[in-house]
Chains A and B, each alone.
Chain A
Amino acid sequence: MDGGNLKEILSVSALNERIKALLEEGFALVWVEGEVSNIRRPASGHLYFTLKDAKSQIRAVIFRTFFGRGENRTPGFEIEDGLSILCRARLTVYPPRGEYQIIIDAVEPKGLGALQKAFEQLKVRLEAEGLFDRSRKRPLPFLPARIGVVTSPSGAVIRDILTVTGRRFPSVDILIAPVRVQGTEAAAEIIGALDDLQSVQGIDVIILARGGGSLEDLAPFNNEGVARAIARSRIPVVSAIGHETDFTIADFTADLRAATPSAAAELVVPLRADLRETLQSLHSRINRSQRQATQRIRERIADLSQRLRDPKRRLADTRLALDDNIDRMRTTLSHLGAVRRRELINFITRLEHRNPRVKIVQSFETIESLGKKLRAARERLDQQWKNRVRSSLALLDSLSPLSILHRGYSITRRLPDGLILRDTGEVLTGQEVDIRLSVGHLQARITGIGS
Chain B
Amino acid sequence: MSKEKFEEALEKLETIVRRMEAGEMTMEESLKAFEEGIKLARFCTKKLDEADRRVDLLLRQEGEMTTKPFAGEAREPEQ
Contacts and interface: CB of A to CB of B under 8 A. Distances in A.
Q: Does A pair with B?
A: yes
Interface of A: 141-145, 148, 152-159, 162, 166, 170-178, 180-183, 192-193, 196-197, 199-200, 204, 211, 272, 275-276, 278-279, 282-283, 285-286, 289-290, 292-293, 296-297
Interface in B7-61: 7, 10, 13-14, 16-17, 20-21, 23, 25, 27, 30-31, 34, 37-38, 41, 44-45, 47-48, 50-60
B73 A154 contact: yes
Contact of A173 (B2, B30, B47, B54): B54
A152 B78 contact: yes
A141 B73 contact: no
17 contacts: A152-B79, A153-B70, A154-B77, A172-B53, A173-B56, A175-B56, A178-B58, A182-B79, A193-B58, A197-B58, A199-B65, A200-B58, A276-B45, A283-B41, A286-B17, A286-B37, A296-B23
A162 B70 CA distance: 11
Enumerate the 3 nearest inter-chain pairs by beta-carbon distance, A residue then B residue, closest first.
A155-B78, A289-B20, A171-B50
Nearest to A178: B57
Contacts of B76: 154
Given A181-B78, A286-B38, A176 B17 contact: no
A278 B11 CA distance: 11
B57 to A, nearest CB: 5
B14 A282 contact: yes
A183 B76 CA distance: 15
Interface of B: 1-4, 6-7, 10, 13-14, 16-17, 20-21, 23, 25, 27, 30-31, 34, 37-38, 41, 44-45, 47-48, 50-60, 65, 67, 70, 73-79
B26 to A, nearest CB: 9
Query: Which among B20, B50, B51, B65 has the highest number of chain A CB atoms within 10 Å?
Result: B20
A293 B20 contact: yes
A278 B44 CA distance: 11
Query: Which among B37, B45, B78, B79 has the highest number of chain A CB atoms within 10 Å?
Result: B78
A173 B54 CA distance: 5
B52 A171 contact: yes
Nearest to A142: B7
Contact of A211 (B44, B70, B78): B78
B17 A289 contact: yes
Contacts of B48: 272, 275-276, 279
Contacts of B7: 141-143
Contact of A290 (B3, B34, B74, B78): B34
A174 B70 contact: yes
A170 B49 CA distance: 9
Given A170-B51, A171-B53, A275-B48, A289 B75 contact: no
Contacts of B37: 282, 286
Contact of B74 (A154, A193, A272, A296): A154
B63 to A, nearest CB: 11
B2 to A, nearest CB: 7
A31 B66 CA distance: 54
Contacts of A278: 10
Contacts of A211: 78
Contacts of B10: 142, 275, 278-279, 282
A159 B55 CA distance: 12
Contacts of B54: 173-174
Contacts of B30: 289-290, 293
Contact of B79 (A141, A173, A176, A181): A181
A285 B56 contact: no
A145 B6 CA distance: 10
A176 B51 CA distance: 20
Nearest to A291: B34
Given A171-B50, A286-B17, A289-B30, 16 more contacts: A141-B3, A142-B10, A154-B77, A172-B53, A173-B56, A174-B53, A175-B58, A178-B59, A196-B58, A196-B65, A200-B65, A204-B4, A279-B10, A282-B13, A283-B38, A290-B30
Contacts of A145: 1-4
A142 B48 CA distance: 13
A293 B25 contact: yes
A363 to B, nearest CB: 93
Contacts of A155: 73, 77-78
A226 B17 CA distance: 44
A155 B38 CA distance: 44
A173 B55 contact: yes
Nearest to B13: A282
Contacts of A204: 4
Contact of B78 (A148, A157, A177): A157
A286 B34 contact: yes
A154 B77 CA distance: 6
